[in-house]
Structure 1
Amino acid sequence: MQESASLTAALTVVAGGFLHGSFALPMKKMAGWKWENTWLIYSVSGLVVLPLLLALLTVPSFAEAVASTSPATLALIVLCGVGWGAGSTLFGLAIDRVGMALTFAIVLGITSSLGSLLPLLIQNPAELFSRRGQILLAGLALVIAGIILCSKAGALRERAQNPQAAVRKRGGAFTGLLICIASGVLSPALNFGFVFGEPLKQEAIRLGASADFAGNALWALALGGGFFVNAGYAVYLLGKNRTWCVYSSPEARGWYWVGAALMGFLWYIGVSIYGMGAAAMGPLGGVLGWPIFMSTVIIMANVWGAATGEWKGAGSQAMRLMWIGVAILVAAIAVIAQAN
């Protein structure tokens, strides 16, 4: 029975990663909008409207749960959301500075490992030396190996599809490296908020929320904090690039608005389902679930990229490395699931 419950919890996290890793698909049909046009609507949908709506629908006495939680805990949750928002923004800047391969390898490697290990070291450091801890470390090593291979494959693809990218002047390599590290440290803050915001979840449960949905109270606050950074940067670009007018252009079809909102839906529902699966994993759900979630997101991003033609002309070596990396990430999920 325990093994069945553990498998169900892990598969729930994988399902969340599947949706989360698919959220950018609508952008492929929205060439008439600039990145910032799409990102602002996505941010409103996925970071404000849906989290708040689901919290109100699934958490009885949501406002009371928030009011009865200590201000320090609430501030920590929001601050973690702001940190995650800053990390995601820096991720885009890092790609521009040092390229996709190095950015993915550094940022996702740090995000996957730090997002799992830091909560464990703070909450229960002795667990790191247990059998469960050793399995987790082995799984994280596989995650990092898979990320490195996928990143290398991405670099080969970029070079094959755009030879000029290999010789373009990026400048500020050291600054770019620092941006990568900062992004990697800040990006897992969303999971920190989930783990360390436990008092709010417990208040929601005490007031009648089910354990499966109590995390929605937490996501509403954390993502609200992240919204200000994501939307703020999009608004900055809209002004800088003078792309506000794109919203009223003939190319701004109704589908674009729906597509951007759908991105937010896929992104947030993936996060919410991750929270359900992690909660079902028990006290260490945020520790064990996070690398499984991140691995699934990376797998889906690569699979959808291959399915939609992103890897066309990339060459056999790049494709081979990408699929080997994906296979290693699948193995990592299986290994980490054994720790539950």
Structure 2
Amino acid sequence: MGSSILLGIFWHFIGATSAACFYAPMKKVTNWSWETMWAVAGIFSWILLPWSISYWLLPDFWAYYGSFSSSILLPVFLFGAMWGIGNVGYGLTMRYLGMSMGIGVAIGITLIIGTLMTPILQGRFGELLASSGGQMTLIGVVVAVIGVAIVSYAGLLKEKVLGVTTEEFNLKKGLALAIMCGIFSAGMSFAMSAATPMHEAAASLGVDPLYVALPSYVVIMGGGAIINLSFCIIRLKTRPELSFKADMSVVKSLLFSNILFSAIGGIMWYLQFFFYAWGHANVPAEYGFMSWMLHMSFYVLCGGIVGLVLKEWNNTGTKPTRVLVIGCLIIVLAANIVGLGMAN
């Protein structure tokens, strides 16, 4: 396996680790509605960081974006908005299915769709089936989905042991939302593929290959920001129990700490895609679609590892933990299979 491919897998793992940990600082936010916390974190992750980093990278920020026609920018933006809808639906999926089943269904679907739809739409799926390297990467996708399913099953066992129940459990509604969430969350993968001309333009301007995808995040995350912020604003305006003004009226020390922890969470959220860009840059171009599979499967893997480190699996018995470890090992195996396929 080439050093570049190993580096790509490593950076995808680092990005997924950031994704798995981003909510930890946000748990320290108190006396704020979820909508206010999510909006403040989003301002950092979807707007401030993408814009400031792109402004720093590009020799002429406005000229760069002005050089693209609407036929290039609009699909990138709309796929970003599609991904934003998936983000909103993710929370509702957890409400109706619970964490384990919701994560398993939603991430399993987005992993498959986000990974395979790109080569299918590009008319390259047949080529993958015909080559040994392509066959191996596709086997890796299947193994990754199996690993995600096993980790989700471990979570289900954990919830049963701890007596965790989903008050609003609704299998029919939850599965429908999970499928919708899985499909729409794959918008990020589609957006990255649609933004290839933007990556190439950034490279032609002398931007380091590790960073060429970052300027496209201004457009991609702009689409996601509009959906997420609109959702939060509508909720804050229409729900009588919510009030942005009341959230901002807490004592100054608490206001400062809430903004700080929300900002840290938002920064960590952005960093998952910062390192996603690094990983993507080290994946062979013909296998660029595999970046999404690596990111999403590592997200589940890192979530399991973080749970073990934080002792969330203590007092659950040996079976849930054993199943979790098996699932995590299978995800690691999937990453190795994909890496060997890309190197073939």
TM-score by length of 2: 0.91
Question: Any conservation in 2 of the 1:194–1:286 contact (CA below 8 Å)?
Answer: no
Question: Any conservation in 1 of the 2:96–2:168 contact (CA below 8 Å)?
Answer: no
User: Following TM superposition, by how much is the alpha carbon of 1:253 offset from its aligned partner in structure 2, in angstroms?
Assistant: 4.5
Question: Any conservation in 2 of the 1:33–1:252 contact (CA below 8 Å)?
Answer: no
User: Following TM superposition, by how much is the alpha carbon of 1:136 offset from its aligned partner in structure 2, in angstroms?
Assistant: 1.4
Distance 1:246 1:316, change over 3 A: farther
Query: What one-letter code is carried by the residue in structure 2 that aligns with 1:186?
Result: F
Distance in 2 (alpha carbons) for counterparts of 1:210 and 1:52: 17
Q: Name 1:126's counterpart in structure 2.
A: 126
Q: Name 1:247's counterpart in structure 2.
A: 248
SS in 1 for 2:136: helix
Q: Name 1:212's counterpart in structure 2.
A: 210
User: Following TM superposition, by how much is the alpha carbon of 1:262 offset from its aligned partner in structure 2, in angstroms?
Assistant: 1.0
SS in 2 for 1:5: helix
Query: What one-letter code is carried by the residue in structure 2 that aligns with 1:133?
Result: G
Distance in 1 (alpha carbons) for counterparts of 2:99 and 2:28: 22
Q: Name 2:264's counterpart in structure 1.
A: 262
Distance 1:169 1:195, change over 3 A: closer
Question: Any conservation in 2 of the 1:146–1:328 contact (CA below 8 Å)?
Answer: yes
- Within the candidate set 260, 277, 299, 1:297 is matched to 299
Aligned residue pairs, count: 336
Q: Name 1:238's counterpart in structure 2.
A: 236
SS in 2 for 1:51: helix
Distance in 2 (alpha carbons) for counterparts of 1:195 and 1:119: 7
SS in 1 for 2:211: coil
1:63 aligns with 2:66: no
Deviations 1:194-216 (A, max 9, x none): 11211111122223322221211
Q: Name 1:203's counterpart in structure 2.
A: 201
Question: Any conservation in 2 of the 1:113–1:291 contact (CA below 8 Å)?
Answer: yes
Unaligned runs of 5+ in 1: none
Unaligned runs of 5+ in 2: none
Question: Any conservation in 1 of the 2:33–2:242 contact (CA below 8 Å)?
Answer: no
1:194 aligns with 2:210: no
Correspondences of 1:1-340 after superposition (within 5 Å): 3-123=2-122, 124-129=124-129, 130-163=131-164, 165=165, 168=167, 170-171=169-170, 173-239=171-237, 240=239, 241-244=241-244, 245-250=246-251, 252-340=254-342
User: Following TM superposition, by how much is the alpha carbon of 1:285 offset from its aligned partner in structure 2, in angstroms?
Assistant: 4.6
Distance 1:313 1:237, change over 3 A: farther
TM-score by length of 1: 0.92
Distance in 2 (alpha carbons) for counterparts of 1:289 and 1:278: 6
User: Following TM superposition, by how much is the alpha carbon of 1:118 offset from its aligned partner in structure 2, in angstroms?
Assistant: 0.9
User: Following TM superposition, by how much is the alpha carbon of 1:169 offset from its aligned partner in structure 2, in angstroms?
Assistant: 5.1
Question: Any conservation in 2 of the 1:146–1:329 contact (CA below 8 Å)?
Answer: yes
User: Following TM superposition, by how much is the alpha carbon of 1:9 offset from its aligned partner in structure 2, in angstroms?
Assistant: 2.2
Question: Any conservation in 2 of the 1:191–1:286 contact (CA below 8 Å)?
Answer: no
Distance in 2 (alpha carbons) for counterparts of 1:238 and 1:308: 33
Moved >6 Å (runs of 4+): none
Distance 1:169 1:86, change over 3 A: closer
Distance 1:219 1:21, change over 3 A: same
Distance 1:179 1:63, change over 3 A: same
User: Following TM superposition, by how much is the alpha carbon of 1:271 offset from its aligned partner in structure 2, in angstroms?
Assistant: 0.3
Deviations 1:27-76 (A, max 9, x none): 23234433223211111110111011111111222322221122111000
Distance in 1 (alpha carbons) for counterparts of 2:5 and 2:65: 30
CA-atom RMSD in angstroms = 2.0
Distance 1:323 1:248, change over 3 A: farther
Distance in 2 (alpha carbons) for counterparts of 1:285 and 1:61: 31
Distance in 2 (alpha carbons) for counterparts of 1:179 and 1:217: 31
